[in-house]
C-alpha cells in the first residue's frame, strides 16, 4: 500500500483514502478516521456499565439474553446478538456460531478440529469453538479477506 503523509502549516486537516477493494485493514482505517463509538452499555448488579469494545473477549446469547465477557466481568446487554453485531460493525468482531461473537484480537491460539471446526484459545485461557458453518469465513478473514460472520 502506498502512503502519502504530510504535515501542513495551515488549513483544515484532511484525510483522503483511495482503495480498490474494501479489505479488513481499509475498514479499520475508516473506522479509526471516522471516530466511531468504541463503547457498549450494559448492566451488572442493577448498575449501568460502559464497556470498551477492546475489553470484550466474546459476546454470547444464552436463553434469549445477551452477555459480554471481559477479562473480569460478565455484563448483560439489552440487545439481541444480531443487534449487537450491527452496533459493533467492527471487523474485529466475528460471528463464530449461532449464539456467539468473538473478538479476534483476543485470540491467541487456533487449533483445527474435526468436522471443520476451529478451537480458538483466548488471552484469558477460555476456549471458543468456531462452528463449521462459520469456519470457512473465519479462515478467509484471517487471510485478509473481507468475509464477516
The phi and psi torsions of 47 (rounded to 5 degrees) equal: -105, 145
Regarding the domain with residue range 37-142, which homologous superfamily does it belong to in the CATH classification? LytTr DNA-binding domain (2.40.50.1020)
Domain spans, the chain: 37-142
Pairing of strands 74-77, 93-97: unpaired
Check residue 11 and report its DSSP letter: S
Q: Residues in the chain, how many?
A: 149
Q: What is the pLDDT along the chain (149 residues), one digit of tens a residue?
A: 777 788 889 888 888 888 888 777 777 676 666 655 567 889 999 899 888 888 999 999 999 999 999 998 999 998 888 888 888 877 789 999 999 999 999 999 999 999 999 999 999 999 999 999 999 999 888 887 655 55
End-to-end alpha-carbon separation of the chain, Å? 26
Position 147 scores a pLDDT of 53
Position 34 scores a pLDDT of 62
CA pair distance 132, 98, nearest whole angstrom: 11
Amino acid at each position: 500500500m502506498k502512503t502519502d503523509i504530510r504535515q501542513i502549516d495551515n488549513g483544515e486537516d484532511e484525510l483522503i483514502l483511495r482503495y480498490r477493494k474494501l479489505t479488513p485493514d481499509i475498514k479499520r482505517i475508516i473506522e479509526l478516521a471516522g471516530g466511531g463509538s468504541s463503547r457498549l452499555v450494559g448492566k451488572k448488579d442493577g448498575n449501568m456499565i460502559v464497556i470498551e469494545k477492546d475489553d470484550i473477549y466474546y459476546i454470547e446469547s444464552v436463553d434469549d439474553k445477551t452477555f459480554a465477557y471481559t477479562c473480569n466481568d460478565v455484563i448483560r446487554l439489552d440487545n439481541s446478538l444480531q443487534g449487537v453485531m450491527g452496533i459493533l460493525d467492527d471487523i474485529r468482531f466475528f460471528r463464530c456460531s449461532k449464539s456467539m461473537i468473538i473478538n479476534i484480537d483476543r485470540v491467541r491460539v487456533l487449533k483445527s478440529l474435526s468436522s471443520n471446526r476451529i478451537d480458538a484459545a483466548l488471552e484469558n485461557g477460555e476456549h471458543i469453538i468456531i462452528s463449521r458453518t462459520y469456519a470457512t469465513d473465519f479462515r478467509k478473514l484471517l487471510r485478509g479477506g473481507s468475509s464477516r460472520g
